[in-house]
């Protein structure tokens, strides 16, 4: 149970409550830790109970506060119960982070209906239903919603067609919600990482018979990012320092989408 915790010099989230999905590992865990070390009371969610419990232990070891719930983020009733539990535990909601996601590579014609439905459920349904449940509470606090999109939502990628579809949906979810609530006090933005060194990417398999040259444009030239890279950006975007940002899709991809 090891991880790197990068802390800031301030406590930008004292007296604030943050909900983070996918908090059991990777980017979600790094975000939960970062926000907690800056004073937020964190409510984490994941489908995997043991890794989520590890994140809670790490937060508490860092003198932070975190509660959690285990469940399937693709279900609307689970998303509503998640937000209800968070507000019941802490009395409010200031930051909602849609981080949970899955990915896979395969030839498009080989994608099964079950795999298609599962990726849509986790990557699109989950963020949509969490947003539905969270926005009324964010309106009450003048809070912020941050979605984790991907460079895959901004460019075409061979062999990850369905994943690209889901992340493109998150880009448009973010922009459309930003317009619907443009005259309110809440802020809605997204972060679009490229490859980040997490269990999602280390466990990522590619069919052996693909044309590798088609994957060069989105493989990048500077290696993989770290979960802490994204957590640092998330914390800034969720803070009052980013008050000017609404409807933004911010790339953090080591130049992958630069050209």
Predicted confidence band of residue 72 (pLDDT cuts 50, 70, 90): very high
Collapsed DSSP state (helix, strand, coil) of residue 15? coil
77, with CB counted inside 10 A (0-12, 13-18, 19+), is: exposed
Of 98-112, 141-155, 190-204, 233-247, least confident by mean pLDDT is 190-204
Model's pTM, two decimal places?
0.93
Backbone dihedral angles phi then psi of residue 187, each to the nearest 5 degrees: -120, 140
Please check whether residue 245 is in contact with residue 51, taking contact to mean a CB–CB distance below 8 angstroms.
no
Please check whether residue 22 is in contact with residue 249, taking contact to mean a CB–CB distance below 8 angstroms.
no
In the chain, beta strands by DSSP E: 17-21, 41-46, 65-70, 95-98, 144-148, 187-193, 249-252
163 catalytic? Reply is: yes
Please check the confidence at residue 2 and state whether its pLDDT lies above 60.
no
What burial letters (b/e) apply to 206-232, b meaning 16+ CB within 10 Å? eeeeeeeeeeeebebeeeebbbbbbbb
Q: Which structure tokens are listed for 229?
A: 């890279």
Domains and CATH numbers, the chain: 17-249 (3.40.50.720)
Could you tell me the CA-to-CA distances from 246 to 90, 192, 243 in Å, in that order?
26, 15, 8
27-45 pLDDT, tens digit each? 999 999 999 999 999 999 9
* Averaged pLDDT for residues 13-28: 98
pLDDT of residue 7: 46
Q: Who has greater pLDDT, 220 or 55?
A: 55
Please check the confidence at residue 164 and state whether its pLDDT lies above 50.
yes
Round the average pLDDT of the chain to a whole number and report it.
94
Q: Which structure tokens are listed for 35?
A: 């926000």
Closest CA to 182 of 190, 171, 174, 170: 174
Please check the confidence at residue 97 and state whether its pLDDT lies above 60.
yes
pLDDT of residue 68: 98
Backbone dihedral angles phi then psi of residue 184, each to the nearest 5 degrees: -105, 180
Collapsed DSSP state (helix, strand, coil) of residue 196? strand
- The active-site residue out of 159, 163, 181, 218 is 163
Predicted confidence band of residue 198 (pLDDT cuts 50, 70, 90): confident
């Amino acid at each position: 149970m090891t991880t790197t915790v990068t802390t800031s010099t301030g406590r930008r989230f004292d007296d604030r409550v943050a909900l983070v999905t996918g908090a059991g590992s990777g980017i979600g865990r790094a975000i939960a830790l970062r926000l907690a070390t800056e004073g937020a009371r964190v409510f984490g969610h994941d489908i995997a109970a043991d890794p989520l419990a590890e994140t809670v232990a790490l937060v508490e070891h860092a003198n932070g506060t975190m509660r959690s719930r285990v469940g399937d983020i693709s279900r609307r009733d689970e998303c509503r119960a998640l937000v209800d539990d968070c507000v019941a535990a802490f009395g409010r909601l200031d930051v909602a982070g849609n981080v949970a996601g899955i990915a896979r590579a395969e030839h498009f014609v080989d994608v099964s209906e079950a795999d298609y439905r599962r990726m849509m459920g986790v990557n699109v349904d989950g963020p949509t239903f969490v947003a539905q449940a969270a926005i009324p509470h964010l309106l009450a606090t003048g809070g912020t919603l941050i979605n984790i999109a991907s460079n895959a939502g901004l460019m075409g990628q061979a062999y990850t067609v369905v994943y690209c579809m889901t992340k493109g949906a998150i880009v448009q979810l973010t922009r459309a919600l930003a317009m619907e609530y443009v005259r309110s006090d809440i802020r809605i933005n997204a972060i679009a990482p490229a490859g980040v060194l997490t269990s999602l990417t280390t466990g990522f398999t590619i069919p052996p018979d693909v044309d590798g040259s088609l994957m060069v444009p989105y493989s990048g030239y500077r290696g993989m990012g770290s979960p802490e890279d994204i957590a640092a950006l998330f914390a800034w975007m969720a803070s009052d320092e980013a008050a000017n940002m609404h409807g933004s899709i911010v790339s953090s991809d080591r130049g992958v989408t630069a050209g």
